Amino acid sequence: MSRYYTEYMWEYLDGKSVLVTGGTGSFGQACIRYLLEKTSARRVIVFSRDELKQALMNSALSFHDERLRFFLGDVRDLERLKSAFRGVDYVIHAAALKQVPMLEYNPFEAVKTNILGTQNVIEAAIEKGVAKTLLISTDKAANPANLYGATKLCAEKLMISGNFYAGNQPSCFAVVRYGNVLGSRGSLVHIVKEQRVSGEITLTHEEMTRFWITLNQGIELVLNSMAMMHGGETFVPKIPSMRVKDVIMSLAPECKHRIVGIRPGEKLHEVLVTTEEARRTKEFADYYVILPDHKWWENNNYVHGQSLPENYKYSSDGNTDMLDEGRLKEMIQGLL
């Protein structure tokens, strides 16, 4: 997102090797393309477990770039990660199982990928000397109400503590946490696009709100957070909110709504910074940095940030930045 961290560019990636776990997902594919088109990284590696998706992704790229590499593997496989991380400078850890209803019925699988897979990424990064590893997290990890959010909260905790496990090794770890991605696979935009032909859109609750961010904004947040990180931070962007109902009405005003109720594990509103986290959070113009509650943390890293008031909470329903129809349509231009 161009308004975030504008003091940073991508020079730190020059001549470096970058690996993206979950590289064939919505974020992964967009991030890989961004890295190839806008940075001078020496090598860009797609790490994922689906050979078909890798083949389709390779075919879909409209340019041939000899820096691009595809590496089949699963984050559940520690030895495969160690092989993939040889010579890698930066790892963006985006691999996760994330469909909330599906994971409620398949909890063991969520734990294996989202928690144990993250532990494997940390161990491989430390052993192979990866300089920086950044976890892509979600607002559902803040005060989680479903298994997906709980596994991502565990992944966050593991990633932050990875800095302690690294000891004297040159590896450091941090987290980025943001809201719903407009245009990603299975997003509200795609649901509206599919359902509008019937003339009726399903709606869970009329007052439900969510934070919204685009894929490119998420990528720029990740790359800039990686540039800034010392290890141990959780970066949270200041992003707009909007009622889900208003999003649907803006995208498909001609359609009727059918209320289906809140699904198991789903919240009415989401939170990006909890009241408990706010006590150790620093605020900047366009983002927050949640600092780790550990003795090894160097507290002078973010002395220029503002402390948050007592009982502060950054939630989608209490957000001071609410999207209107015009701004929403600017964000989703080309997605419908």
Residue 164 lies in a domain: yes
Output the six-digit token pair for 184: 């990603």
Residue 336 lies in a domain: no
Residue 330 lies in a domain: no
User: Which are the contacts of 46, defined by CB distance < 8 A and separation ≥ 6?
Assistant: 20, 23, 24, 28, 32, 54, 57, 68, 69, 70, 71
Residue 185 is predicted with a pLDDT of 76
**The domain that contains 28 carries what CATH number?**
3.40.50.720
Residue 224 is predicted with a pLDDT of 94
Residue 295 lies in a domain: yes
Residue 326 lies in a domain: no
Residue 191 lies in a domain: no
- What is the band of 7 on the pLDDT scale with cuts at 50, 70, 90? very low
Residue 96 lies in a domain: yes
- Residue 336 above 80 pLDDT? no
Dist CA 28 CA 55 (whole Å): 14
Mean pLDDT of 143-166: 96
- What is the band of 44 on the pLDDT scale with cuts at 50, 70, 90? very high
Residue 78 lies in a domain: yes
Q: Which of 56-70, 92-106, 127-141 has the lowest mean pLDDT?
A: 56-70
Nearest CA to 161 out of 150, 149, 173 is that of: 173
Dist CA 136 CA 90 (whole Å): 13
- Residue 299 above 50 pLDDT? yes
Residue 36 is predicted with a pLDDT of 94
Residue 334 is predicted with a pLDDT of 66
Half-sphere exposure of 123 (CA within 13 A, CB side): 14
- Residue 184 above 60 pLDDT? yes
Q: Which of 6-15, 207-216, 219-228 has the lowest mean pLDDT?
A: 6-15
Q: Which residues are annotated as catalytic?
A: 140
Dist CA 279 CA 282 (whole Å): 9
Nearest CA to 27 out of 114, 96, 85, 107 is that of: 96
Could you report the per-residue pLDDT of 185-216, keeping only the tens digit for each?
778 888 888 898 899 999 999 999 999 999 99
- What is the band of 264 on the pLDDT scale with cuts at 50, 70, 90? confident
- What is the band of 2 on the pLDDT scale with cuts at 50, 70, 90? very low
Mean pLDDT of 97-103: 89
Count of structural domains, the chain:
1
Which residues span the domain enclosing 298?
11-180+213-239+271-315
Dist CA 169 CA 131 (whole Å): 9
Nearest CA to 135 out of 97, 192, 173, 90 is that of: 173
> Of residues 263 and 286, which shows the higher confidence score?
286
